[in-house]
Structure 1
Amino acid sequence: MTGDRSGAPAPPPGGTGNGPAVSRQEFDALFDRVRTWGRWTPADRGAWNRVTPEHVRRATALVRSGTAVPLGRAWNTTPGPDNSRPALHYMSDLGDLEPPEPATHKDFIAVDYHGKAVSHLDALSHAAYRGQLYDGRAARECIDAGGARFGAVSALGPLVTKGVLLDLPAVLGCDWLEPGRAVHAEDLVSAERALGVTIGEGDAVLLRSGSVRRRREVGVWDPGTASAGCHVDAVPLLAERGIALLGGDGDSDVRPSPVDGVHSPVHALALVAMGVPLLDNLDLEALSVAAAETGRYAFLLVVAPLDIPGGTGSPVDPVAVL
């Protein structure tokens, strides 16, 4: 077990803090190193262009038991340190106004999903760095009050590919990574080796820190202040492997940020430099159990965002099929 039961982050296991500080100059050099601008058409599908029908066929061959594991969190309408903008849900028709048979029951839902509480997909229009979106498009020219005209979630469509679960607590022998624990490139390689998987081109990489279990057992904290996630030094490895999607039970970034003046550096590298959409705030606990029971950490992954013209992302409930 790691950490105490007070809810406050404790010293991270397997390391100290979020790793070495990175200067803005070093970060900008890394940004340019992993950038893939001008590589694909259509550009606003970014790295999802890597996934071909052959990738899909190979991914379906991973299905053995046919067990489907949903990866989305429950709709969260409760305010808290990790949910400053709670989702809405109320009944709009209770079937009690003597309508013609059959009576109907209807409800209304709404959500400001970018944040720390709702499982969602970040499209390429979600983040800009130095005033630019992916492919060098000027953010101010592409996004206004009507939405995004480049990099919208509606450009992505569904993704069916091989998913790889990197279950760091399982590898390190702990229940969760404490908030503030950075995941470095060597951690990813060690996890591959320990779990018997290899990240390949077109894959979706899901990083489990155990934050959902920690929240359940310890209590709620503000993940915007402290969260386990990738250090920027892990990104070149993911770029070299040619991933199509990065996700996790946090938002992929370690916090506090190791880069001065850049609050979400992995977002900038993935979305803006590499064109890799992100899955945030997943619940990977059931998948962790299923993967451990079967000894298989690679699976078919299906992600189907809502078709929202101009949207910067979408709530999602991805499904892993083992």
Structure 2
Amino acid sequence: MGGHPNPDGAPGSAPRPRYRDLPDGRAAGVFGAGDVLGTLNLQTPDAVVAAARLVRSGRVFALNAPVDWPDPPLYSRLPVEHTVFRTAMGNLDDHLDHFYPQASSQWDGFRHIRDPEFGYYNGQDEALGVDHWARRGIAGRGVLLDVGRALAGTGRDLAWNVRTEITAADLERARAAAGVDRRPGDVLLVRTGWTAGYEAATTAERTEYRSGGESPGLEPSREMAEYLWDWGVGAVASDNVGVEALPAPATSLHHLTLSRLGLPLGELWWLEALAEDCLRDGRYEHLLVSAPLHVRGGIGSPANAVAIK
């Protein structure tokens, strides 16, 4: 394919359209008829190089919870069983049983949610396995928006088990407080405080929550989808259960972003240590790298993500 990569669209393409110009809020064809990467296309080589220049202190933050967390596992999943055994050669090996790639800190792949009206991203299905992300890798500028702290400063505390919608205006307020600009390809990390709340909960509260409960999160609206798309966000990851506020409506933010825009969503990310560091030094941007699990046709993947400042 000839031409130079367009930082605001697919290689050789016209500039990426605004959300209001997308028919039915769908990005079908924007990055090419056979595209399987969606907004990850916005993580161009130039964007990755710029993100690498953000590394100054060398501090590294793993953004992954243990594979057996939350405990007990959510949505009737079975607990992960870790077995260590000695091989015939005498060395140790191990294996995991009941390992769900989307049970802990994870990415939702494009096949995770099917839009009831328009199907999967870019009109495809089997071709949308998370293995495409794995072969490419995810790398770019990470931007932490500490919405939990920003809203607490206005008297709006986010309880981990109460449904509260975070609006596009709330995200913009947190962005302004963080002092970061908008760049195509950014991985937006949204801290609600859900992880800290869950960790502080009693065993009884966690057990009651495992079959599904309320959660603060992004407002499931076209206004939110517009804000994310027009920013040029490459992916969104949060510390809560579903990125969006739960329970979700019939047309959820997953439908509006994952299915229609091809915008990857990450859930249950481990953001507390990174958020504390950002609060200390006032720097809310970093290099973010994620290596999804290379499972052919995979529906989702552990995050395998690190932030480097």
TM-score > 0.5 by shorter chain: yes
Gaps of at least 5 residues in structure 1 are 1-28, 143-148
2: CA distance between counterparts of 1:248 and 1:77?
15
Aligned residue pair count: 273
> 1:151 aligned to 2:124?
no
Q: 2:93 aligns with which of 85, 106, 112?
A: 106
Q: Which residue is 1:280 aligned to?
A: 267
* CA spacing shift, 1:185–1:30, aligned 2, 3 Å: farther
1:76 to 61, 68, 84: 68
* Separation (CA, whole Å) in 2 of partners of 1:307 and 1:159: 13
Confirm or deny that 1:268 pairs with 2:258. Answer: no
Counterparts of 1:67 and 1:283, CA distance in 2? 16
Where structure 2 has 5 or more consecutive residues not aligned to the other structure, the ranges are: 1-19
Tell me which residue corresponds to 1:252. 243
RMSD: 2.3
TM-score (ref. length: structure 2): 0.81
| Native 8 Å contact 2:166 2:217 kept in 1 | yes
Structure 2 matches for 1:66-145, cutoff 5 A?
A: 66-76=58-68, 80=72, 82=74, 84-94=76-86, 103-110=90-97, 111-114=99-102, 117-130=103-116, 132-137=119-124, 142=125
Partner of 2:233: 243
Structure 1: how far apart are the matches of 2:158 and 2:52? 31
Correspondence for 2:292: 305
Give the aligned partner of residue 215 of structure 2. Answer: 227
Give the aligned residue type for 1:56: V
Give how far 1:40 is off: 1.2
Aligned to 2:188: 205
Return the alpha-carbon distance in structure 2 between the equivalents of residues 230 and 78 of structure 1: 21
Provide TM-score, normalisation by structure 1: 0.78
- Other-structure match for 1:293: 280
Shift, 1:77, TM fit:
6.4
Instruction: Look up the equivalent residue of 1:72 and give its one-letter code.
Output: N
Residue 307 of structure 2 aligns to a residue in which SS? strand
In structure 2, what is the Cα distance between the partners aligned to 1:125 and 1:82? Answer: 20
Contact in 1 for aligned 2:72/2:79 (Cα 8 Å): no
Distance 1:30 1:211 in 2: 35
Residues 186, 77 of structure 1: CA spacing in aligned structure 2 closer, same or farther, 3 A cutoff? Answer: closer
Mean alpha-carbon deviation: is it higher for 283-292 or for 172-181?
Answer: 172-181
Name 1:48's counterpart in structure 2.
40
- 2:165 is matched with 182
CA distance in 2, matches of 1:81, 1:53: 38
Corresponding position of 1:321: 308
Identity %: 28
Structure 1 residue 112: Cα displacement = 2.0
